[in-house]
Amino acid sequence: MSEPRVLRRGWTTREGWRDTKAGLWAWLLQRAAAVALVVVIALHLQNPFIPAVQAVLLGLVLLHGLLGLRAILLDFGLPVGWHRALFAGALGLAILLFVVFWMWRWS
Amino acid sequence: MVLRVFRWDPGTGERVQEYRVTAREGMTVLDALVEIQRGSDPTLAFRYACRVGMCGSCAMVIDGRERWACRTLLARLPRRTVSVRPLYHFPLIRDLVVDLEPFRRRMLATAATFEPAEGPAAFAAVGRDTAERRQVAAAIECIGCGMCLSACTMVAHDERFPGPAALNRAFTLQLDSRDGAHADRATRLRSEDALVRCHAQASCTAVCPMEISPTDSILSLRRRAILALF
């Protein structure tokens, strides 16, 4: 008896990504930010005084942290129906805090 | 319109076959498939029963999204070329027909079946207006179409993960005062492959045609599991 044929979403195809849900984007972004942080933190430790690396580090920390906060809020009982709004809120807050911190950093 | 239909049967390789259909007013994807089968290609295999969005038999992936073919109007689809594929994560039988056995297997693995309590506790009048009933009012509407398992990205990566439908069913049973398997089920739910495997991406909730939120059910079970530690 041969192995049954089971289809999986083709992530290398356009159709595989069509209709990708907001929740999956939020999850993927947080994971991608985590992987990127490992690299950027290493760069930052080699030379902590490069503004471009500092900016990327700040952006990634805010993105990863705020998307994590979104997940925690959902875990703690906020209605799942709010998850898209929380995603947008996390992204918006990340941008806002980035601008605030960066302006404060160079003031 | 053009339907790009996934074709497969044991022994021959998979292929995509294009069928041209004239989209009449009110025509659904299921209507189009039936027309193709009765007209140009009697070999095309797909599954359906009620044709009116009650049974869930015609669940498939249309234009990249899990949908019921009988409830998907051709006119509502954004593109004139529509891809029609079988559900993901289920063994193929032929063309658009999949074997739903994994659905049953995952249900059993989570003990998502009603186990009557011993003695008089097995019987209880659960009124429609009671808190016990209201908590599961949406969740008990699942008809087992399998679309949430197809949409769930975690199901693809963990054979032992019960998936949204089984966990949603487990949620309704854990809140059922007549059920006698709460402790056994709670142990299974706390395992490495059950509740913790869900990343709350809510893909299942987005595609559920019954407007159930398995994600809510899973997160609720997770909170109960944590509170039970104290």
Quick one: pLDDT at residue B120? Answer: 79
* Alpha-carbon gap, residue A105 to B3, rounded angstroms: 57
Q: How do the pLDDT tens digits run along chain B, 230 residues long?
A: 999 999 999 888 899 999 999 999 999 999 999 999 999 999 999 999 999 999 999 999 999 999 999 999 999 999 899 999 999 999 999 999 999 999 999 999 888 889 988 887 778 888 888 988 889 999 999 999 999 999 999 998 888 999 999 999 999 999 998 999 999 999 999 999 999 999 999 999 999 999 999 999 999 999 999 998 88
Contacts of A17 in chain B (CB under 8 A): 64
Contacts of A71 in chain B (CB under 8 A): 200
Q: Is A26 on the interface with B (CB under 8 A)?
A: yes
User: Which positions in chain B have a beta carbon within 8 angstroms of at least one beta carbon in chain A?
Assistant: 6, 8, 10, 14, 63-65, 83, 85-92, 99, 151, 153, 156, 199-203, 205-206, 213, 215-216, 219-220, 222-223
Quick one: pLDDT at residue B230? Answer: 85
Left if phi > 0, otherwise alpha if psi is -120 to 50, otherwise beta: which for B106? alpha
Share of chain A above pLDDT 90, in %: 74
A-B C-beta contacts closer than 8 Å? 79
Rounded alpha-carbon distances, angstroms, from residue B147 to A21, A82, B14, B77:
14, 22, 22, 18
Helix (H, G, I), strand (E, B) or coil at A16: helix
Helix (H, G, I), strand (E, B) or coil at B180: coil
DSSP-assigned letters across all residues of A27-38: HHHHHHHHHHHH
Q: Please, what is the Cα angle at A87 between A85 and A88, to 5 degrees?
A: 65
Q: Is A75 on the interface with B (CB under 8 A)?
A: yes
In the block, residue with structure tokens 């021959």:
B12
Closest approach of B137 to chain A, Cα-based (Å): 16
* Closest Cβ–Cβ partner in A4, A5, A83 for B202: A83
* Closest Cβ–Cβ partner in A5, A16, A17 for B92: A5
Position A1 confidence tier, pLDDT thresholds 50, 70, 90: low
Q: Which residue of A has its CA nearest to B159?
A: A6
Number of neighbours of residue B145 by Cβ within 10 angstroms: 23
Read off the pLDDT of residues A56-89 as tens digits, 9 standing for 90 and up.
Answer: 999 999 999 999 999 999 999 899 999 999 999 9
Read off the pLDDT of residues A37-50 as tens digits, 9 standing for 90 and up.
Answer: 999 999 999 999 99
